A and B are shown apart, each in its own frame.
Chain A
Amino acid sequence: MRLITHNMLQCHVKGCTTNNFPLQIQDAELETLEAEFNPGFVQRLIPKLHWGALYHTAVSLGIEDLPEQMPEEVTEDLLRAIHKVALETRVKEGKAVCLGCGHVYPISNGIPNMLLQDNEV
């Protein structure tokens, strides 16, 4: 799972509505795979990203390429930084933990398991 996908997932346990996003990545085994840089796509992606979630998640994983505040001016350097963080950094193993209710979503072989038990839906 790349961080762009992490940016779109939240805890969906029934009744868990505060602090359910972003999920905190723990015990992460990261992998960086080069991907083709598509500046037009990244530019269109910016308004859809939750910047705070992307920034803080990246920092928690030791990635310091992004500015804390989303800059007003979009430069090629910024697009490349977003590309690197959101589209090239992936979590191969680990877990995504809800800071609201503590639910743990395991990530295995790059695939987050978002399935809930019957009593959590």
Chain B
Amino acid sequence: MIKLKQLESELTQVTKFREPKVQLEQYPTTAHLAASMLYTAATTYEDIEDASVVDLGVGCGMLTCASGILGAAYNVGVDVDPEALEQARDNCDRFELDADLVNLDVQELVVPADDDEHGFRLTQRLSADTVVMNPPFGTKSNKGIDMVFLQAAAGIAERAIYSLHKTSTRDFILRKAQSWGLKGEVVAELRYNIEASYKFHKKKSVDVEVDFLRFEVE
């Protein structure tokens, strides 16, 4: 398998969002972060190679490119933003990766269901061994969107979910996840550097404390 350093260096070729959209919280996943996440998933847990992998909120395709390079047998990226998907397509082509891309709103994937033991179900038949994602953290206008992504992931993944969430919400997330049949653990604590991509950020960049979480499907 490719070495971590080499993976990260390959991933620096992935082009970032041309014009990030504020309402979608399109913070690009850095090559360093994507390489660390997917390399851990592939080597420590063996959840990538020969596996099917769904990327929720694929954006410009950083995690999916990493997954493809690490030998996933089948990659699907889902995103609400068609422009991001076009870019993800270009980035996958750059590595000659065969990822399928679907223009779908993750928030439309999850609906309440009284007859379900966890209280929700998916509107699609998507299933995969592994889900990887860097969901929106959720701001005032779309509070809780990170949990909708996690619900969608719980409905799709048969083995494991790899995700990034604000450290400040860790206990809440682990508890919720457990109620959906997911056993969560903190793989690493990170400082996520949000570049000043948006005009309303006064500072040059903002550091957010973020957990890299792995959820095992029970």
Contact = CB atoms under 8 A, between A and B. Distances in A.
Interface residues of A, number: 29
Interface string B89-108: 10000000010111111001
Contact of A111 (B73, B74, B101, B123): B101
B74 A114 contact: no
User: Size class of B's contact patch?
Assistant: 20 to 34
B33 interface: no
Given A40-B50, A41-B50, A41-B73, A5 B102 contact: yes
Contacts of A38: 50, 73
B85 interface: yes
Contact of B89 (A21, A109, A116): A109
Interface in A68-100: 87, 90
B204 to A, nearest CB: 35
Interface stretch (B124-132, B188-196, B206-214): B124-132
Interface of A: 1-2, 4-5, 7-10, 12, 21, 33, 35, 38, 40-41, 45, 48, 50, 87, 90, 109-116, 121
Interface of B: 50, 52, 73-74, 76, 80, 82, 85-86, 89, 98, 100-105, 108, 123-127
